[in-house]
Amino acid sequence: MIVFKSNEEIEILRENNLLVSQTLAEVGRYIKPGMTTRKLDQVAEEFIRDHGAIPGFKGYQGFPATLCTSVNDQVVHGIPSGYELREGDIISIDCGVVKNGFYGDSAFTFAVGEISPDKDQLLRVTRESLEKGVKQAIAGNRVGDIGYAVQSYAEEHGFSVVRELVGHGLGKNLHEAPEVPNYGKRGRGPKLKVGMVICIEPMINMGVKDVYQDRDGWTIHTADGKPSAHFEYAVAVRKNNADVLTTFKYVDKVLNQK
Ligand code: MG
Ligand code: MG
């Protein structure tokens, strides 16, 4: 069942996703060779609690941390650990918060130091595929229009789209209806209506689309060990436009200062 949000509820969701956006930027300041993913997790948790919110992922279905930190061939749901980032890694930081009864949920993939041109291209195309998908999140379109836009853009650039994990509705629950796949056909799937808030989160692989779950019960890896990237926005569907509740402007500012 799709839960529609009032304008007041969308403003709470906007505030929460703004906090996630700022948390991603704060974490971004610490991303460099030698930094552990556990330290990044501590930075995020402290920042979120200092802003009067609660980490949204910690304890969710037993997940042990504030962030999902997914390095290189890890697609999503990586668990922060003693792993030290290395020059040339890419790391997806996925972050959730809860405040005033609603969630925030967004993700950004960072480069660690200098990365290879093919990884750089993967990050650029994945982020652009998210923007292509977002443009379709307008009342009257269908969920398949989003997936089609993401998939066709990623595949045009020689990359592949993960099928097993998808975007979702966002509200009082972290994962609400409808599912929002990053692949699909135009004009198919649930109709988008005013008051829907959805997370669009392309997971794009450099090699094959197939993935597997680690023995840790969480981390998703690419089947061929090649890198994967992940960017996520929360978006409110409006009559004539997609109202993006997340912003990467804080992250971009931090990256420009590096
Ligand atoms: Mg999500
Ligand atoms: Mg997320």
Compute the distance from residue 232 Cα to the ligand 1 centre, in Å.
7
Within the chain, where are the H helices?
7-30, 37-50, 117-134, 143-156, 249-257
Compute the distance from residue 142 Cα to the ligand 1 centre, in Å.
19
Question: For the whole model, what pTM was predicted?
Answer: 0.98
Q: Which ligand is nearest to the CA of 200?
A: 1
Ion ligand 2, residue ranges at CB < 5 A: 94, 105, 107, 232
Q: Is 90 exceeded by the pLDDT of residue 173?
A: yes
Q: Is 162 exposed, middle or buried, given 0-12, 13-18 or 19+ CB atoms closer than 10 A?
A: buried
Compute the distance from residue 179 Cα to the ligand 2 centre, in Å.
13
Question: Tell me: the pLDDT tens digits for 46-79?
Answer: 999 999 999 999 999 999 999 999 999 999 999 9
Looking at the domain covering 7-257, what would its CATH class be? alpha beta
Q: CB neighbours of 195 closer than 8 A, spacing ≥ 6?
A: 4, 5, 6, 10, 236, 237
Compute the distance from residue 73 Cα to the ligand 2 centre, in Å.
17
Compute the distance from residue 140 Cα to the ligand 2 centre, in Å.
25
Question: Tell me: the pLDDT tens digits for 232-253?
Answer: 999 999 999 999 999 999 999 9
Compute the distance from residue 120 Cα to the ligand 1 centre, in Å.
23
Q: Is 249 exposed, middle or buried, given 0-12, 13-18 or 19+ CB atoms closer than 10 A?
A: exposed
Compute the distance from residue 158 Cα to the ligand 1 centre, in Å.
24
Model pLDDT, residue 95:
99
Question: What value does the mean pLDDT of the chain take?
Answer: 98
**Residue pointed to by tokens 């609690």:** 49
Compute the distance from residue 83 Cα to the ligand 1 centre, in Å.
24
Q: Would you say 214 and 220 are in contact if contact means Cβ atoms under 8 Å apart?
A: yes
Question: Tell me: the pLDDT tens digits for 96-148?
Answer: 999 999 999 999 999 999 999 999 999 999 999 999 999 999 999 999 999 99
Model pLDDT, residue 258:
84
Model pLDDT, residue 198:
99
Q: Is 223 helix (H, G, I), strand (E, B) or coil?
A: coil
Stretch 173-191: mean pLDDT: 98
Compute the distance from residue 113 Cα to the ligand 1 centre, in Å.
26
Model pLDDT, residue 166:
98
Q: Which ligand is nearest to the CA of 57?
A: 2
Q: Would you say 48 and 235 are in contact if contact means Cβ atoms under 8 Å apart?
A: no
Show me where the domains of the chain are located. 7-257
Q: Is 90 exceeded by the pLDDT of residue 220?
A: yes
Question: Tell me: the pLDDT tens digits for 8-26?
Answer: 999 999 999 999 999 999 9
Query: Which tops the pLDDT comparison, 33 or 258?
Result: 33
Compute the distance from residue 105 Cα to the ligand 1 centre, in Å.
6
